[in-house]
Amino acid sequence: MPSLNEYLMVSGLLFAIGFAGVLMRRNIIIIFMCLEMMLSAANLTLVAFWRFGGGNGMPADGYEAQVLVFFVIAVAAAEVAVGLAIIVALFRARCTVHVEDLNSMKG
């Protein structure tokens, strides 16, 4: 059976892949997708800690962790809607989704 450390490592790797995407890609939509990936990796960590929270591989007593993950997913859905609306407004104003072209705030 897999151990808690393996779940934590897998979610850490998913977070690292998302982080690499945010740092390396220049397309703002891909950056946003990588942000979603990092958020989901944090969710996986939460659920893994809940599942192992009772000790000896048994879950914790309450269901607060799953409620928290549920709230995080709902807030992420709202955030995606607003973020994509901002990206569409940005594209209409500047005709680009390439972050290196969006440097009008640069001093």
Partner 1 sequence: MSVLFYIFSAVMLVFGLMVVLNRNPVSSALSLVVSFLGLAALFITLNAYFIGVIQVLVYTGAVMVLFIFIIMLLDIKTEQRRELNYVAMGCGIIVVLALVSQLAILLGDFVPGNQQLATLPEEAAVHQDVKLVGEAVFTNFNFHLQLLGILLLVATIGVVVLSRRQGRADRSQE
Name residues contacting partner 1, limited to 53-92 (CB under 8 A).
55-59, 62-64, 66-67, 69-71, 73-82, 84-89, 91-92
In the shown chain, the binding pattern of residues 19 to 38 toward partner 1, with x for contact by CB under 8 A and - for none, equals xxx-xxxxx-xx-xxx-xx-
The sign of the torsion formed by the CA atoms of 59, 64, 70, 71 equals: negative
Is residue 94 a contact point for partner 1 (CB under 8 A)?
A: no
- Which long-range CB contacts under 8 A does 33-38 form with residues at least 24 apart? 36/76, 36/80, 38/14
Give residue for tokens 């680009």. 96
**Is residue 50 near partner 1 by the rule CB under 8 A?**
yes
Looking at the Cβ atoms of 83 and 107, the one nearer to partner 1 is 83
